[in-house]
A = this chain, B = another copy of it.
């Protein structure tokens, strides 16, 4: 038997517990070319909030009674697929369920000897790739520039700032709370981190970005985006990766009132989703793997346990009660 997390209803504003439901179903027999994955860890990401809206986006919305979408790592427990053997560890769009039957499309093998499995959902997975392409391709950092990143203690932001340092930039983070800021500066090596929950962000940017902002990597939107816009340099780049402050709005998204700063500064704001770069995931995985192995990129995963704990864990994405990549453990190696 399989336990699956299904979308039960569409949320308005912040999702209530009733938005999802657990259901037990039978695991279908494999046909030729399929494999059965026992799901060990699934990735919890702010983007999930978008996937359950009934709106045109870069992927189709999750439908009511469909299994909730998610990336996951697991172990092959049965296979009629030529490329995957029983015992292989794999990453793919497992969705949130104990077992996943798939034709292997988009699935890759991962090595648990090299890295702890949850890291393949973080720094060595989509969030790491998002940071890599978002900073390097969209942001185009040059040595000596100042890179400001919000959500700096998160799965994406933490990697953005560390790549910025590798590229010879000044890296300044924005995060919520003194402990996260300490982590960002002392453990991850950012030059500074502004605590938006306790400090004045405008004053913090003025102090820690004394030469202005060349790249603002935005994960949060809202007021912080507007403040950053007011301090950008000529030719600045603003990769728009997310807008977590706006995802649960019942009313309209707050648009950046200071967007005309782009005009007077000849600057650009550019959105992206990591799947634009699918053909280059191999490059990102290799480079990030090297940097992790060399100790140039550090990361943390915050692991919660049990598919039945999906909802309280999901809430941590928005409350910020986590440190590093948020992962839910669904099953055990055995």
User: Beta-carbon contacts of A263-280 to B below 8 Å, as 1s and 0s?
Assistant: 111111111110010000
Contact call B273/A270, Cβ cutoff below 8 A: no
Residue among A50, A246, A263 with the most chain B CB within 10 A?
A263
Partner-binding segment picked from A199-207, A249-257, A295-303: A249-257
The answer, among B56, B240, B262, B271, for a CB contact under 8 Å with A240, is: B262
Instruction: For the complex formed, measure the closest distance between the CB of A101 and the CB atoms of chain B, giving whole angstroms.
Output: 29
Let me know if A259 is at the binding interface, CB within 8 A: yes
Which residues of B sit under 8 angstroms from A263, Cβ to Cβ? 240-243, 271-273
Residue among A221, A241, A257 with the most chain B CB within 10 A?
A257
Q: Give the interface size class of chain A.
A: 20 to 34
The answer, among B246, B266, B269, for a CB contact under 8 Å with A262, is: B269
User: Beta-carbon contacts of A31-71 to B below 8 Å, as 1s and 0s?
Assistant: 00000000000000000001000001110000000000000
With A246-B260, A260-B243 known to touch, is A266 a contact of B272 (CB < 8 Å)? Answer: yes
Let me know if A258 is at the binding interface, CB within 8 A: yes
Q: How far is the CA of A257 from the CA of B57 in the complex (A)?
A: 16
Contact call B268/A268, Cβ cutoff below 8 A: yes
Q: How far is the CA of A251 from the CA of B47 in the complex (A)?
A: 33
Q: How far is the CA of A257 from the CA of B249 in the complex (A)?
A: 12
User: Beta-carbon contacts of A192-236 to B below 8 Å, as 1s and 0s?
Assistant: 000000000000000000000000000001000010000000000
A-B pairs, top 6 by smallest CB distance, nearest first, are A255-B255, A262-B271, A263-B271, A268-B270, A255-B257, A255-B256
27 contacts between A and B (CB under 8 A): A57-B264, A58-B266, A221-B260, A226-B255, A240-B260, A240-B262, A242-B263, A243-B260, A243-B263, A252-B257, A253-B258, A253-B259, A253-B260, A254-B257, A256-B259, A259-B269, A260-B271, A261-B271, A262-B269, A262-B271, A266-B271, A266-B276, A267-B270, A268-B269, A269-B269, A269-B270, A270-B270
- With A240-B263, A262-B270, A263-B273 given, name 12 new contacts (CB 8 A): A56-B264, A226-B255, A243-B260, A253-B257, A253-B258, A253-B259, A255-B257, A255-B258, A256-B256, A259-B271, A268-B268, A270-B270
